Structure formats: C-alpha cells, structure tokens
Structure 1
Amino acid sequence: MMLVCQRFVSVVRNSRTLSRHVTTWSPVGAAFNAQQRKVDLFQKNVGLFGVPGLSTPAGFEVAQQRALRETEQLVETACNNPPGALTVETFDQLSDSLCKVADLADFVKVGHPDPAFRDAAEKACINIGTVVERLNTNVELCRSLKNLLDNKEVLDSLDPDTRHVQSSSSELFMFDFEISGIHLDESKRGKAVSLNVNLLDLNNEFLNGTHLPNRIEKTALPEHIRHCFSIDGNSIQIGGLHADSPDELVREAAYKIFLFPNSSLLLCLDDLLTCRNELAKLVGYESFAHRALNGTMAKTPETVMKFLELLTDKLSDRTAKDFNLMRDMKMKMNSRSTVLMPWDHSYFSSAVRAERYNIDPSLYSPYFSLGACMEGLNMLFSQLLGVSFQNEQPMAGEVWSEEVRKLAVVHETEGLLGYIYCDFFRRPDKPHQDCHFTIQGGRLKKDGEYQHPVVVLMLSLPPPTRSTPTLLNPGMMENLFHEMGHAMHSMLGRTRYQHVTGTRCSTDFAEVPSILMEFFATDYRVVNQFARHYQTGQPLPKSMVSRLCESKRICGAADTQLQVFYAALDQVYHGKPQNRSTTDILKKMQEKFYGLPYVPNTVSA
C-alpha cells in the first residue's frame, strides 16, 4: 500500500505533463465518446462472451449438461483419491465448472434484451443452483475434504505457501458444507436441499417483481404531469421514483404509485423470509441473520443492531440539522408546503448543496463526458498500477447489445489480465441498477496458464447522440468510479483458486476497493487530469472541484441515516420471526431509524 501511495504522489507532481487537448482523446476515451462501430454481420457468430454454443438460447441447455458431466467426474475424483494437493484443486475445478455456467446465466437472465435468452438463462441458474445445493450436502464429498484437513502429515508435506492456500481454501469449502447442513441426518439434509431449491425460485420471483413498473389509469393523474411518465394507451407506467424531478407533484406521485404494495409480491416476500428462517433453524442457527453473519467481523445480529443504534445516536443531531436545512429549502422554493417527505430527500439535499456551493450539475456535465471519465480511469490505473485499458471490437454474437464496449485490461509487464464488458447505456427492459457481474473467475489452471477473469459493468446512462457524447453529472461520475473499483478488484485479485478470486473475497472487504475509487473521483489532483470540456477542451476549474468536494459534507448525515434504516430493516426482516406484517415492520423501523414520516400504503424504496 505504501508503494502505491508513493507512486501516486509522484504521479500528482508530474500531472501537468499528462494533460491533452480535446482533439487528442486516447483510443479509450474516443471509443466511449463515439457511437459503437457496427459488428460485421458476415462474421461467424462466436456466442455470448465468445463461448461456443451460446449463439442461441438452446446453448444454455448444452452448457449446463456439459458442466454436469464434468461435475460427476470431478466428484468421483475427489471422493476416490487419497487426501493431498489434488483435493483442493479438484474442489476448485468443480466450483469453476459450475460457476462458468451459473455466473454467466445469472447475468444473462437480467441483462439480455431477448426474452428467450433470459428464460433459458434463468432455467440454467435454477438447475445449476439445485446441483450446488445437493453437492453442499454430499457426505462423501465433505469427508474427502475433512480427511485433508485432519491429515497433518499430508499438510506438513506441502511447501509453506501451498499449505497456507490449501488450508484456507479447504476451510472455506468446509464452511459452505456446514452452513448447508452437512451435519444433519439424511432426511434433514434432503429437507435443506428442498428449502434451498425453493429459495432459488422465490429469489427469482421476488427480484423479477421488483423490476416491474406499476400502472395507473391516465385520468388518475393531473394532466400537466402525465408527460413526465411513460404513457401506454389509457394507462401510465411508473418504473422509478423520479427523485430528481423539480416538480413536487411528480415526485409524490411517483413515490406513492411505484411503491404501492403489490399483494402477490408481498406474499412472495413473506414466503421468502419464512423459507430463509426455516432453513437457518434447520441447520442450527437462531435466525437467517445469524447464519448470514457467521464468518463476518460482526459475527452476530446483536452486534450489528448495537452498532446501528449507536451510529443513529451519534448522527442524530447532525441528521436533524440536515433535515431542517432541507425543510427550509423546501419552504423557500414552495412556501405552501412545509412538511419534508421521503420523496423530498434526494431533491432537496441536492438543492441545498447547489445553493450553498453553487453546484449545478448542468455546469459540470460537459466536463465529465463518458470518454473523459474512462480516459481518467485509464490514466489512474496506468500511473498507479501499470495497468491500462485497450478497446477491442467485439466479434459477431459476442455481446448482447451493439452498444456494449469490450475492454482488455493489460499489465505493462504481465500482459493480459482479463476483460471488462461495459454495458453502460439505457435500453428497454434493462434493469435500472448499477452493478458488477462476474462472468468468469480467475484461477491458476493445471497447465500453469492463468484463466482470465471476465466481468460485466452494468450502468444506466443516456446513450450518446451523433453530436453529443454521453455526459455524466458528478454523481454518475462517482458511481462509474465505484463500479470500476469492483471490476478492477476482479482483474487484480489473481488468486490461485477461483472460489476466492476478486469480489469473492470476505464480505467485510468486498466494498473496500470501490469505496477507495470514490476518493479518487473527488480528488482534484486526479480529476484535473481528465475533466475537460467535451467541446472546448478546457479543464474543469479547480474552484469547481473544490466546491464539489466541500458540498459532500452537506446532508451527509441524513444520507448515512437512510442507509442505516435500510440495514436495520434488513436485520429485523431476517431476525427472529415477528407477529407483524412486513409493512408494519417497515413503518416502525422507518420511524425509529430514518427521521422522515412513513407514507401509508407504500413499501420500502
């Protein structure tokens, strides 16, 4: 870490030599500031992510059958060979074989625009997930691993590095067995598998339901705000909160309609929580929260709740001050409305920052073209880590949308590290969420070659036009840096086993690289190197960056308190069963941990 910091200081001192004019975008910057070159339709279809066979939805069935055949062979190898160095290698190869199908399918089921691909991928996820749950309760497979951990002679015969890696990885695999109920008798193990398989279905049903918009008759809304939403015949679809709309009526309508309880989805949530609790109790935990926190720094739900309550107490004065600032701003902008509501939080916290520090996103966006931001990331990684991005033209059938960009991540001495597929732009049926998907984990193969990690970054940015590149506001820019932190974690976490590669690390550490990237995104020494006007090439003035950084201190306590509320709600939902509805629990937790009133007939945002 010290070496990286020293290198950063050296880079900053010489940053003046790194500035370029707008006419000299790097290949990476140019690739993201222009519309994607069309794929050659006469090329052979290489399949999604270059996987042969995934040129059609039917390829998922072929891929999962191949993975299941490999699984049978590897299970036999693990169970029939004496404990040794091969044991953990076989377990990781087994995990890799299943994950190559499951992880890829996990993305395709939500990210592919073709319903046939999504359906085929979802079936593959469920089928592979079922196999994984059965393997996690396979006594013979568990015994082969336990024999290795219990055999001191075999472990001592390994070189120190191998012994450490093998022991650590074996313990993680053993942990998976234990939380899945390997210690139970045969009938209860079967019950655990059934519950886990049911959870796969319930998870899919619930997540799919949360992405669906709510509909309302067009006549139910005032005519002057109807154009703000998607109109479909005589009805209006509302698929988000419209939290940044300057019209309070638009924000209020979106909040109340989008979060209006869906009875079937609430039943699904009840079933999901009941099933999770039943599984946790079956395998020996007080609640699902106890099971989920086992192996983390917090260890128990009691510790988590104590922390959240302490944090709420410490933040209370600052949170109240923040809400008062927002309330005053609301009264100033609309004197008829005096009560601060949940749909006001995002809008008026931004308004307070804008007024106090003259922060107008429209003034910043021209300096944060997507190409400039990607160029900034490229420069940062090159200077700190000797790693650069190289834009590659996808082959026919390799990507699911012609707007997806493919980046090769290359180290200055070690060569290719992996691939990042950038699915950045909005399109119909695409989830409105920013996230990182692992498609293939890195691992050291038997032949000594390293299996390159492959990931997808999914954002929801406006696409470029013929005359204007995609322009990011400061929040979008920070979020891009955050998500790229996850992607680079996957690229740089070059572990021996894919079971622990990249973001498959300890949960306590998973967000550290992405949070670190947020600090770079608001440091003038970094921003100065890439933020320049997409038309004139002028750099972003230092005063504007300083104001942006200072503004983050405003309403920060209220923003943090909102996250505390979400965390506390999650703990109670997954704690010991309550004799109340999930909506009643939500109301009580919002009143205790948030500070803004609960709105009747709404569920959590």
Structure 2
Amino acid sequence: MPLLRSTLLAYTPRRLLAVAANPTVGPKQRRFSSTTSHEKDLEDTTLRQIFDSQNVWLDFSHRNVSDLAKPSPGLFQNRYLTEASGFLKYAQVTKKKCQKIVEGVLSAASTEAYVAIPRQLDLLSDSLCRVLDIADFVRSTHPNTRYQEAALQAYAFLFDYMNVLNTTPGLNAQLRKAISTHEASGSWNEEEKMVAQILLRDFSKSAIELPAEKRRRFVELSNQIKTLGNKFLDSMTPIRSYLDFDIRQLKGMDPLTLARWSDGRKAIRLPTVGDVPYAALGTVEDEATRREIYIAGRQCTKNQIKLLERLMITRAEIANLSGYESYAHMHLSDKLAKSPEAVYSFLTSLSADNAPRVVQEWARMREMKVADGISTKIGQWDLVYYRHRLNVDLKPKSRKPDFMSAYFSLGTVMQGLSRLFNRLYGIRFVPRGTSPGETWSPDVRRLDVLHETDGHVAVLYCDLFARAGKNPNPTHFTLRCSRLISSSETVKGSKSPQDANDGMAVSSSTNSSQSYQLPVLALICDFPHPPNSLVPALLDFQEVKTLFHEMGHAIHSILGRTSLQVVSGTRCPTDFAELPSVLMEYFAFDPSVLALFARHWETGAPLPYEMVENSLLMQGRGQGVQTETQILYSLLDQAYHSSLPLNMNGGFDSTKAFFDVYDKYSSVREPPGTNAQGLFGHLVEYGGTYYSYLFDRAIAGKVWKEVFRGGKDDGGVDREAGERYKEEVLRWGGGRNGWACVSGVLGEERLRDGGKEAMEEVGKWGVHD
C-alpha cells in the first residue's frame, strides 16, 4: 500500500499513535532550551513522582492545566475529536483534502509542478495516516465502545478510499514522469529521491500497471487479506480452554497457584493459555502431564487452520497478480534482505553459529532427565522444566519476594531512561499536564521531549498500567510523524501552522521560520497498579527490559525527524525497525546505565550489580534452543509465503508444511497431533519478514560491542558513541538505505551494498546476548 506505509514493531503490525501537545513555537521553545539547572532537577524529581504516585500525577496534571473550565480541545487535542461522532467528520474532511491533492498531482504539467510531486504525495500519505492511525489506535485501546465503533467506521471509510488511490494509474504515471524529467528530479534532495523510489515500488506492488479488471481484482484480494487476517487473529485460541487434572499430577507446582484453580477438593482445572500453563511446564514433575499441557497449548481448530491456509493462498494470488513469484518475493523487495534466497542465507548461517549451543543445552537437559530416572529421550515439553531447574540455584536467596524489583519503581525507571537519553543524545522527558478530554484514561501520563538546543521535539503519552479490557501487549505507537509544514498548508485566515495539523502540536525550526509537525507517540504496557498509595509500582527485571525495548522504538521516532513523513522515524524497512529497540535491551543490563537510577524505593540504596549478573546467567540458560525455535518459525514463515500454497500437490496443507520444516531443521521433534501454526499470529503481521527480529538482534549485538564497547569503560553512557549511533542510524528514519546505516555505524564498508553475502555475514555474528 504505497500511501500508507507498513511498519512492523515489536509483537504487532504498524502501530502509530497520533497524540498532541500544547503549541510550542517561538519564545516558548526558547524557554525550554534555557531551563536552569534547578528547574531541570525539579523536572527530574517530578518525573519519578508522577509515575510512582497517582495522587501526585492528578495534582500535577490539574495544576498545570491553564483553565479546567474550558471546553475539551479533543482527544489527542485534535479539534475534530471532542466527541466520538467527530471521527467520521474527520475522515470526510480528510478525504476532501486528499481529493484536492490528487487533482493537483494529476494535473501537473510544468517542471515546477513535477518538482513538487514527492512532497505532494507525502502530504497525501500523511493526511490519510493521521486519521487511519488514530482510528487504529482508538479502536484497539480506547475503553469507550462509542469511540471504538466511531473509529472503526472512520477507518473503514478511508481505508477503502486509500485502496482506490493505490490503484489509480494516473498517480503512478505522474510520479514516473516526474522521475524521468531531469529538470524536476535533478533538483530533489536525498529524502525526496528516497520517497519517490519507495512510492514507485509500492505502486508496482499494487499491480498499478495492470488492466482495470485486474486492478479491481487486486483491491478485492487486498480486502480479503485484511478480513482473513483479522479473523485469524481474533480466533487464535487452542481447541481446549482448560485441562482437568488430579492435584497429584501437578506435584512441584506452586500451591498458591493451584489453590486459585482448584474446586476445593483434589480436582484442578488449568487454563491452556497464559502464565499458568507456562508455570506448569516449568515446575510440574510428571513428564506425561507436562506433555499433555504442551500439546494442548499447540492445538487449534480445523476452521482456524482453514483461515490460515486461505490467507496464505490469497497472499500468493495477489503476489502472482502483481507479477511476483511469491508473496515473500513481493514483500521482501524493499527490505534489506531483498529476496527469500538472502533470508535463507542469513538463517542457515545463523543456525550454523547457534548449533553448538543447541547441542550442548539439550545434552545437559538430557543428563538431568536421565539422573531423574525417567528416560533418555528428550522432548519439547522438557525445555521449560529443565531450564527452570538449571536456574533455581541462581535465584537470589531472600525472604522478600520483591527483592530485586524494590530497586525498580516505575518512576525510577522512567527517570533513568530520561537521564540515559540526556547523556547519549541531549534529550530529556519533562512532565506536562493534560487537558480534559485529551487522553483516553486517567492513568495516562504525558511527557514532552525536549532537546538541549532544538527545544520541543516530540510528545510521549505513557499508558503503562493494567486495566480491564486493555490489550496486555507492550506496544509503541507513532500515529503522527515528523514532517515539514509548508506555508501553503496554513488554513486561510489563520497564521498558525497548527491549523494545518487539525489543532495538534507543531514546533518551529531553530534555524529558520519553517514549522514541523511534532512526532507524537504513545507507549502501552500492562504493569500492575501499586498495592496501595504508600508503595509505588515495582517492576521485575523482565518488565524493565520490556520498557527499555519499547523506548528504543520511541527514540527512533523522536530522533528520526525528517521533512517527509513517509520516511520518518520507525517508517523504515521491517527488517531494520527492531534494531533500536533490541539495542536498548543491552542498556538495561549495563552497570553504568543502572548506576544512573536503580535505587531501592525505600532506602535509596544502589542496586547490587550481582543481582543483574544472576539475571543475565538465567537469561542465557536455554538461549540456544530458544533461538533455534525462532529460526524454525522464520523458516516456516518463508515456506508459507513461498510459491508452496499454490503449487503443493493435493492442495495447500499448512500442517504438513509445518512438520516438513521441523523434521528437517529442528534438533528435537515436534510431537504429532499439534498444529501450532494456527496460533502463530506473527504470520499475519510479518508476512515473510519474521526473520527480522533475529536479524536485528545480530546487528544490535555487533553495534553494542563495537560502538558502545560492550559497556566497558562507561561505554553505555558515552555521548560520543550516542552521537555516532544517532548520526548514522537514528536520525535517518527510513530516509537512507539500511545497509548504509549499518555500514556507517560499524565502519564496515563491505556491507554498504547489502546482498546475499552481507546477509550471510550478519548471520555469522550470531545472537549471543
């Protein structure tokens, strides 16, 4: 879809939230950059307090709103969204605006008009994304069903229009003419050239040059893919929701957990999804019980498998219609990998690097099983149990269950992230009050992101606490990206560029009279509320790591400030989008970073680093087998998105294809009777690019080691290293070839052109966290 660029983030398809800030232009922006040391210290303290105390946040938020009696500025301060019914009006107004832009592009005939085409198409994309991305966020996150339904209606209205635009030959023809007109394209800057090429490729993927009948078929198939994907994700549950056991079968499991699922006698009914079955796999002594739990969690209905197979066949059909050998060939054409062959090269190289660890880990677990007097045969259901056994001796001995989390109150971690980013990039988080109706929940905290010289550069909304009905998946949203606002966009009769942005935030450039729409972000987590007003929310170390990961996406959006939104921040190739987030996980374990903030919430004592070392050791146990599992799913993703769905003898059988991959590449066989592919949601979201996470893990490990010196000699807080990474990677967003970014930050010139050999080289680096 050329006019709505797809960007995959951790765990979900493109999640981009447009939220708003108070206008910050001119004198107010200068005030930010001239904040005194005392004011900065106060902001730093307040940052911790508003996350550690709901009462402090409510008091702060109300004190910092100029006039509570004023009418709501609208959800996200969008002037159309003062009520749910405003969504459709917002979509209708946007469509009219888009139609005018399209008319201008189609009527372009002069050199001057052709020069403007990349920016006009970028404006068209931005206009659509502002509505579609807000609507996508609201329909999945807002607690009010009226808002959800209105957002869904607005989304459907504009999504159909966008599909029409994506198959409008005149737009493609005008873009091609602009590119071939040297007087026009010769004056474009690098960003404009990149955007033109991106949109040209995407038009090609949309079968734009096919006859009208086939273009209509393309739209038909696109809608089918969207519908099938949503149905698949909505029905992604095992056949059996619960399993019944006698309490004696669950020996070794936590008694308190068993009590929650007991009928008061000896019968236990365990769910097959979530933390409980995972805990059972890690602690239940009886192998037959573990096997039953493992298999039940990997069995879905026949209808679910049919949905998946129809989705894969439909994707193969749309690829063939567009002139591609397979959906993977089509989807990878604009990624760093470029082709399925290069992906296989990476995965086989990575598998070879990982194999010795896998052999060693399974051998150790087999030894433990033999010592238990059970069997010499190891099964997939043994992995979690014996990894847990290996880690028992590493757990800190303490009477307090919150021993390590006591050093990580949520406010302290947010304060630490702000301090880290200030050290590395010169930016910090400053709490801001929210206006009535601006956010979707009282739990949401708003932070303005300020740069030491550039002033206000982004707005970040933090919705970090669990609540009923909220999606528990940690997610970063960027619904509105950075973009230069031209003077011609200002609404007639107004001098404010905010009017061109639906009342939402803009910022003036420090170097000129130009204005930018600010990148506006939301961070969604599912941390438990504190037990009472006297104790803050305390995070375990996995939750700290999760928060650092999502902040990696956020910092990409914040620092990737480009003049065109198609390439802003996280709008980069899928197999490059996880690099900043995975790299941030290394900072979470670094002693120099933890020294910035990790303090006991009561005593203020610094965190003893040996606790983190224990955590690192536990994380490393069984990592080879876990990596192998991701490699297997990456290979499965490639098989499903190859030509196989249309060419398999006897019709496409996804279960046979699943076992073909496992039987060929897995070190331990998958038990018969499972069809886990029907529970693998990333097949919908990634579509031939699931390898991306492993790929970016390998690159992130290399960057951490080479650029930040593996944390040695305070490398994790080194400004020079931060600036190098920012200048070579973060600031470009998707406006530079990803291989050039990797080559630049690592000083590896041989990687600059990418290709199969470069992919193989990255595989050799491994994922040794």
> What TM-score does the superposition give when structure 2 sets the normalisation length?
0.69
Superposition pairs of residues 160-559 of structure 1, within 5 angstroms: 162-210=188-236, 216=241, 220-222=244-246, 227-228=259-260, 239-240=273-274, 242=276, 243-245=278-280, 246-248=282-284, 255-328=294-367, 341-342=379-380, 344-346=382-384, 348-349=386-387, 351-356=389-394, 362-447=402-487, 448-466=514-532, 467-559=534-626
Moved more, 344-353 or 54-63: 344-353
CA distances 1:86-122 after superposition (whole Å, capped 9, x unpaired): 2112111100100001111222222222333333333
Three-state SS of the structure 2 residue aligned to 1:417 is strand
CA distances 1:502-533 after superposition (whole Å, capped 9, x unpaired): 00023332122112211211111111221111
CA distances 1:262-285 after superposition (whole Å, capped 9, x unpaired): 333322212211111110010011
Three-state SS of the structure 1 residue aligned to 2:403 is helix
**C-alpha separation between the residues in 2 aligned to 1:213 and 1:401?**
32
- CA offset at residue 214 of structure 1? 6.7
| Amino acid in the other structure paired with 1:262 | T
Contact 2:242 2:271 in 1 (8 A): no
**C-alpha separation between the residues in 2 aligned to 1:335 and 1:113?**
53
Three-state SS of the structure 2 residue aligned to 1:118 is helix
Contact 2:241 2:273 in 1 (8 A): no
**C-alpha separation between the residues in 1 aligned to 2:460 and 2:630?**
29
Matched, 1:59 2:98: no
Name the % identity: 33
Contact 1:84 1:148 in 2 (8 A): yes
- CA offset at residue 208 of structure 1? 2.5
Aligned to 2:149: 119
| Amino acid in the other structure paired with 2:473 | Q
| Amino acid in the other structure paired with 1:446 | S
Question: Structure 1 pair 318/205, CA: closer, same or farther in 2 (3 Å)?
Answer: same
Aligned partner of 1:593 among 665, 668, 672: 665
Contact 1:490 1:503 in 2 (8 A): yes
Three-state SS of the structure 1 residue aligned to 2:574 is coil
Three-state SS of the structure 1 residue aligned to 2:459 is strand
Question: Structure 1 pair 252/491, CA: closer, same or farther in 2 (3 Å)?
Answer: farther
**C-alpha separation between the residues in 2 aligned to 1:226 and 1:54?**
47
- CA offset at residue 336 of structure 1? 5.5
Three-state SS of the structure 2 residue aligned to 1:196 is helix
Contact 2:242 2:272 in 1 (8 A): no
- CA offset at residue 482 of structure 1? 1.1
| Amino acid in the other structure paired with 2:578 | E
- CA offset at residue 330 of structure 1? 6.5
Three-state SS of the structure 1 residue aligned to 2:73 is coil
Three-state SS of the structure 2 residue aligned to 1:200 is helix
Three-state SS of the structure 2 residue aligned to 1:539 is coil
Aligned to 2:676: 603
Moved more, 462-471 or 357-366: 357-366
Three-state SS of the structure 2 residue aligned to 1:508 is helix
Question: Structure 1 pair 197/387, CA: closer, same or farther in 2 (3 Å)?
Answer: same
Contact 1:441 1:454 in 2 (8 A): yes
Moved more, 316-325 or 137-146: 316-325
Question: Structure 1 pair 168/308, CA: closer, same or farther in 2 (3 Å)?
Answer: same
- CA offset at residue 472 of structure 1? 1.9
Superposition pairs of residues 127-166 of structure 1, within 5 angstroms: 127-156=157-186, 158=187, 162-166=188-192
Aligned to 1:15: none
Moved more, 60-69 or 390-399: 390-399
| Amino acid in the other structure paired with 2:274 | G
- CA offset at residue 353 of structure 1? 3.9
Question: Structure 1 pair 365/324, CA: closer, same or farther in 2 (3 Å)?
Answer: farther
Moved more, 407-416 or 260-269: 260-269
| Amino acid in the other structure paired with 1:240 | G
CA distances 1:196-229 after superposition (whole Å, capped 9, x unpaired): 122222222222333x6876468x3446876556
Contact 2:336 2:573 in 1 (8 A): no
| Amino acid in the other structure paired with 2:194 | S
Three-state SS of the structure 2 residue aligned to 1:561 is helix
Moved more, 137-146 or 52-61: 52-61
**C-alpha separation between the residues in 1 aligned to 2:384 and 2:526?**
18
Contact 2:238 2:296 in 1 (8 A): no
**C-alpha separation between the residues in 2 aligned to 1:265 and 1:393?**
46
Aligned to 1:26: 45
Alpha-carbon RMSD across the aligned residues, in angstroms, is: 3.1
Three-state SS of the structure 2 residue aligned to 1:502 is coil
Three-state SS of the structure 2 residue aligned to 1:486 is helix
Question: Structure 1 pair 216/566, CA: closer, same or farther in 2 (3 Å)?
Answer: closer
Question: Structure 1 pair 462/274, CA: closer, same or farther in 2 (3 Å)?
Answer: same
Aligned to 1:10: none
CA distances 1:421-461 after superposition (whole Å, capped 9, x unpaired): 22222223323322212211110111321101112222222
Question: Structure 1 pair 217/473, CA: closer, same or farther in 2 (3 Å)?
Answer: closer
| Amino acid in the other structure paired with 1:127 | F
> What TM-score does the superposition give when structure 1 sets the normalisation length?
0.86
Contact 2:73 2:438 in 1 (8 A): yes
- CA offset at residue 587 of structure 1? 3.0
Aligned to 1:11: none
Contact 2:238 2:301 in 1 (8 A): no
Question: Structure 1 pair 529/499, CA: closer, same or farther in 2 (3 Å)?
Answer: same
Aligned partner of 2:75 among 23, 30, 48: 48
- CA offset at residue 25 of structure 1? 7.2
Question: Structure 1 pair 336/494, CA: closer, same or farther in 2 (3 Å)?
Answer: same
Contact 2:239 2:300 in 1 (8 A): no
Moved more, 35-44 or 134-143: 35-44
Three-state SS of the structure 2 residue aligned to 1:388 is strand
Contact 2:427 2:449 in 1 (8 A): yes
Which sections of structure 2, spanning at least 5 residues, go unmatched? 1-36, 63-67, 251-256, 488-513, 681-769
- CA offset at residue 476 of structure 1? 1.7
**C-alpha separation between the residues in 1 aligned to 2:367 and 2:74?**
56
Contact 1:408 1:416 in 2 (8 A): yes
CA distances 1:166-216 after superposition (whole Å, capped 9, x unpaired): 222111111110111112111111111111122222222222333x68764
Matched, 1:567 2:616: no
**C-alpha separation between the residues in 1 aligned to 2:122 and 2:397?**
50
